[in-house]
Amino acid sequence: MVNYYTAVTPQVRNVPVFIQYSNHKELKTDSALNQRAQAVLQAVSAVQEGGSPSSAAGESVLTPAPSPVLRIIIDNMFYPVTLDVLQQIFSKFGTVMKIITFTKNNQFQALLQFSDPVNAQQAKLSLDGQNIYNSCCTLRIDFSKLVNLNVKYNNDKSRDYTRPELPAGDGQPPVDPSVAATLSKDSTSLLGAISPLSAAAAAAAAAGRVALSGHTGPGGVLLVSNLNEEMVTPQSLFTLFGVYGDVQRVKILYNKKDSALIQMSDGNQAQLAMSHLNGQKMYGKIIRVTLSKHQTVQLPREGLDDQGLTKDFTSSPLHRFKKPGSKNFQNIFPPSATLHLSNIPENVTEEDLRLLFSNSGGTVKAFKFFQDRKMALLQMSTAEEAIQALIDLHNYDMGRGHRLRVSFSKSTI
């Protein structure tokens, strides 16, 4: 069934349906969670019909809803999550009145207000821990201490759906109510009932939203500035930015060698790399990452020597995300002092790895093998040292056909 419908997208009532395997081996219909969910649904039905939730189970489940406002954290945010996406998903559980999005501790977060606390409770129970897209963009939901949101502007960061007349704010594009309505109507079929999409479908969904809004949208090319021109190379930029997507080409500018253009596979990967790497320290300098006006990075004309400043990595074997649905989608984190190491040969010791990473110019503060000793966590003194170590040692030849894989970790030791 999965193989057949991968090639032929089925439709139910003119809505495309995406089918894939689940991580579950069987369906359990008698779990406590399911009973709680049923109690909530029964209580909500009773309230909507004008009655009151009569069952003790319904009352006990509904009682803890302290606020109509939910705090939402998006983990593993491989694709951008917009206000419209959040509104489409959460409006399945009730009327969404206001949304405010922001970044805190390098994580994308949102505050979302329902018209009724019961709707917030139902949404939290159903959506907490779900993925918006396949293996990424995981929803972490709890109740906010706030009971009402104060939204001043209607733009791409905040929205009050009860007050369409609000201004957009300085430098922000205004929201066209007709476009917002079109987005909501058209994109709901893409997201379905919180069904996870494949990476390709997610990209298509994002592209569809951009096309609907009448903009061409950001391309997959980044402009990186304030680089250490004496030390930076196309290879070092490929390795670092490759943590957040598949880098296709890198071009260090000939007349401004502290700046470079980096072409990612698509605009979503470019957005992800920009959100995690802008303001990070590389080779002693705080780099600035913005979206470029260019759509592609041009290779030098044939016969022209550009001193190795432009590299094409399209066919590189080191791309982390070539396989659709790769587990690497689940392990994308901002730069941190702690690194995750994998593909470690069985004969390599803790001392070997401590020495290897110390030689990259930093100080190893802590180390911990996983139980199978094929993976480990290694903590440097600072995130800058970890960035340097990742650039130097990702894909390092450990012998016996083992090449070390290095990623950033959200854990500490």
Per-residue model confidence as pLDDT tens digits over 168-203: 876 555 554 443 443 333 333 334 434 333 343 344
Integer Cα distance of 282 and 277 in angstroms: 10
The mean per-residue pLDDT over the stretch 138-155 comes to 93
Integer Cα distance of 390 and 282 in angstroms: 11
**Would you state the structure tokens that stand for residue 398, as one six-digit string?**
């450990």
pLDDT at 45: 60
What is the reported pTM?
0.52
Is residue 393 within 8 Å of residue 404, measured between CB atoms? yes
The mean per-residue pLDDT over the stretch 270-294 comes to 91
Strand positions, DSSP E, 144-259: 158-160, 221-225, 247-252
Name the least confident of 62-66, 200-204, 356-360, 378-382: 200-204
Is residue 372 within 8 Å of residue 345, measured between CB atoms? no
As beta bridge partners, residue 16 has: 11
Taken in order of first residue, the domains within the chain and their CATH numbers are 69-160 (3.30.70.330), 221-324 (3.30.70.330), 333-408 (3.30.70.330)
% of the chain surpassing 90 pLDDT? 46
Identify the helix (H) or strand (E) that includes residue 112: strand 107-114
216 pLDDT more than 60: no
Residue 77 DSSP symbol: -
How confident is the prediction for the chain on average, in pLDDT?
A: 80
As beta bridge partners, residue 285 has: 282
**Would you state the structure tokens that stand for residue 178, as one six-digit string?**
């007709």
Residues ≥6 apart with Cβ < 8 Å to 306: 254, 300
Q: Which of 387, 199, 134, 197 is nearest to 276 (CA)?
A: 387
pLDDT at 226: 95
pLDDT tens track for 115-129? 999 999 989 998 998
DSSP per-residue codes, 186-216? HHHHHHTTTPPPPHHHHHHHHHHHHHHTT--
